[in-house]
Structure 1
Amino acid sequence: MRKVDVVYSALGHHPIKELVDQALIISAIKEAGNIKRIKISEFGFEAERVQLLEPVNSVLEEKIKIREAVRKEGVPFTFVSSNFGATYFLPRLGQVEADGIPEAAVSILGDGNTKVIYVDERDIATYSIKAADDERTLNKTLYIRPPANIYTTYELVSLWETKKNKTLERIDVSEEEILKKIDEFPGQLPFFYAIAYAGFIKGQTTNFEIDPSIGVEASYLYRDVKYTTVEKYMDRFL
């Protein structure tokens, strides 16, 4: 810690102990005394502005505890709220169980009209690095909300149909069906359905305004960054 200025934590949550152990990083930063900024591992939803179902809620609770520890110790920080990483949902057109982009039919979670935010993981990294020594992001949350990447599921499906010059059958998946899958499915699927539920059903990536006293928006601060748009991202699957 004494050899660096900025600390990025990219620990995962499988097992959840990895998130919990970030408390050790905070202790080391406090002891070193020279760290100018920490970015803890909570890339995804805004931890303090969402309500998630289990099994995701336990992860969220640990992220909030680490935030509280950072503030308590007075460690300079920038929290990063990056919304949906593009890698998982875009290649599935917003589906959870699909292995890739469907050829004939697509499942639409909810009414298909809820807007969500997709961000290329490389852009998440770029914005996080640019914010490292920016005084405008000190002790604030960096929200990554590229305006060209805010889509409903219907808009995403229509974009793909236009690119492929074909029409997909739309299969509606109700909120009740999703809740049943979260309760009954084995393995990791309930985790991803809980994330999908928060985004596609409850709109928790877009249902609040950024409070400028505690947060800033990345694509507004760093207009020089040519982020990957959803429209461009989908070209790789043609």
Structure 2
Amino acid sequence: MSKSKVLVVGGTGYIGKRIVKACLDQGHETYVLQRPDIGLDIDKIQMLLSFKKQGAHLVEASFSDHQSLVDAVKLVDVVISTISGVHFRSHNILMQLKLVEAIKEAGNIKRFLPSEFGMDPARMGNALEPGRVTFDEKMTVRKAIEEAKVPFTYVCGCCFAGYFVGNLSQLGTLVPPREKVYVYGNGNIKVVYADEDDIATYTVKTIDDPRTLNKTVYLRPPENILTQKQLIEKWEKLVGRELEKCSISAQDFLAPMKELDYASQVGVGHFYHIFYEGCLTNFEAGEDGKEASELYPEVQYTRMDSYLKIYA
């Protein structure tokens, strides 16, 4: 079977650049959207040029120019969006509605993967304010996709290792604590962690797979379903010493929330759902869900004890 041509939207972003690499590595003819308003962002320009050197095609199109999006979409079979939804960087989830309109008009797309990758928004109807805006907006995009009858795959279900593993899941830092670590509740809630390169690998594997058409694919590498306490233990074993552990009750964790800035409030809410409610692991995939590591057992995913070695 011939491999689909893929357009990556948001290809210079945190996950996007990995999706581009995975597309190329897996033999897909790969197109990367280049927005004309990139201006003097030298890092992004150089990244785009590096993609081109690796064999990707750059396609100029703008979210403010509908026809340019339609023209870009017509070049490919599959569109993968990795538009940012993190509030402390940039939050553009609803921009994807313009992409859905372009895909609908083009009429040739066999699969669209909107920007998801984290918590399943369909299961976050009772999420705390203001963080629930992330899930509400993702559900707005899903509704538009399904109403337009665009074939889709939703990929979600894990914590990015770069944001949640290297720091032992501490808020406000991306490096491991050396003396004292904060533990959420008893630290025994199961969480799913995944290396971002593995997320990209699994994502790209879904695009030509009939088993994932109009399904939600959950990223749950079995050996990376860990409690925070188990994650801390892996770090302690690696560095050869124990950290002081300070347990935070759910009530104490949420207490200062109203004094924080908006982005921090969103982050606290998301941490609460992951580490106190277990929103990544407290459900079965169900009829409309698939589990990536079961579909693609050949993927040799990174285990978190191995991942932590780069921080030691």
Most deviating of 7-16 and 101-110: 7-16
1:31 matched to 2:105 = yes
Q: What does residue 263 of structure 2 align with?
A: 188
Question: Aligned equivalents of 1:93 and 1:178: distance in 2?
Answer: 16
Q: Distance in 2 between matches of 1:3 and 1:137?
A: 23
Corresponding residue to 1:165 among 234, 240, 243: 240
For the residues of structure 2 that align with 1:187 and 1:214, how far apart are their CA atoms? 34
User: Alpha-carbon deviation of 1:187?
Assistant: 5.2
Residue 145 of structure 1: aligned partner: 220
Question: Which residue does 1:112 correspond to in 2?
Answer: 187
CA distance in 1, matches of 2:113, 2:256: 33
State the secondary structure of the residue aligned to 2:139.
Answer: helix
Structure-to-structure mapping, 1:1-238, within 5 angstroms: 1-13=73-85, 14=87, 16=91, 18-50=92-124, 51-186=126-261, 188-211=263-286, 213-238=287-312
Q: Contact 1:127–1:218 at 8 Å: present in 2 too? A: yes
User: What is the rounded CA distance, in whole Å, between the counterparts of 2:271 and 2:205 in structure 1?
Assistant: 29
Partner letter of residue 12 of structure 1? S
Distance 2:239 2:75 in 1: 51
Q: TM-score, normalised to structure 2's length?
A: 0.73
For residues 199-238 of structure 1, what are the alpha-carbon distances to aligned partners after superposition, in whole Å with 9 as ceiling and x for unaligned? 1000000000111x21100001001111111121111112
Of structures 1 and 2, the larger Rg is shown by 2
CA–CA distance in structure 2, aligned partners of residues 153 and 117 of structure 1: 10
8 Å Cα contact 2:175/2:311 also seen in 1: no
Measured in 1, the distance between the counterparts of 2:231 and 2:93 equals: 33
Q: TM-score, normalised by structure 1?
A: 0.95
Number of residue pairs the alignment of both structures matches = 236
Q: Which has the higher contact order (CA 8 A, sep 6+)?
A: 1
Instruction: Tell me how far apart the structure 1 counterparts of residues 306 and 129 of structure 2 sit (CA, whole Å).
Output: 34
Partner Cα distance (1:82, 1:208) in 2 = 11
Report how far residue 24 of structure 1 moved: 1.1
Instruction: Measure, in 2, the Cα distance between the counterparts of 1:236 and 1:188.
Output: 28
- Say what the alpha-carbon RMSD is for the aligned residues: 1.3
| Residue 22 of structure 1: how far off its partner (Å) | 1.0
CA drift of 1:188 comes to 2.8
Q: Deviation per CA, 1:143-181: give whole Å up to 9, x if none.
A: 000001011111111111111110111011111121123
Amino acid across the alignment from 2:237? T
Matched-pair contact (CA < 8 Å) for 2:162–2:174: no
- C-alpha contact 2:157 2:280 (8 A) present in aligned 1: no
How far apart, CA to CA, are the structure 2 residues paired with 1:26 and 1:101?
A: 40
Q: SS where residue 38 of structure 1 aligns?
A: strand
Contact 2:185 2:249 in 1 (8 A): yes
* DSSP-derived class of the 2:178 partner: coil
Query: Structure 1 regions of 5+ residues with no counterpart?
Result: none
Once residues 149 and 103 of structure 1 are traced to their aligned partners in structure 2, the CA distance between those partners, rounded to angstroms, is 23
Structure 2: how far apart are the matches of 1:20 and 1:88? 23
The answer on whether the counterparts of 1:82 and 1:119 sit within 8 Å (CA) in structure 2 is: no
Contact map agreement 1:182 1:191 (CA 8 A) in 2 = no
Between the aligned partners of 1:182 and 1:204, the Cα distance in structure 2 is 20
Contact 1:181 1:193 in 2 (8 A): no
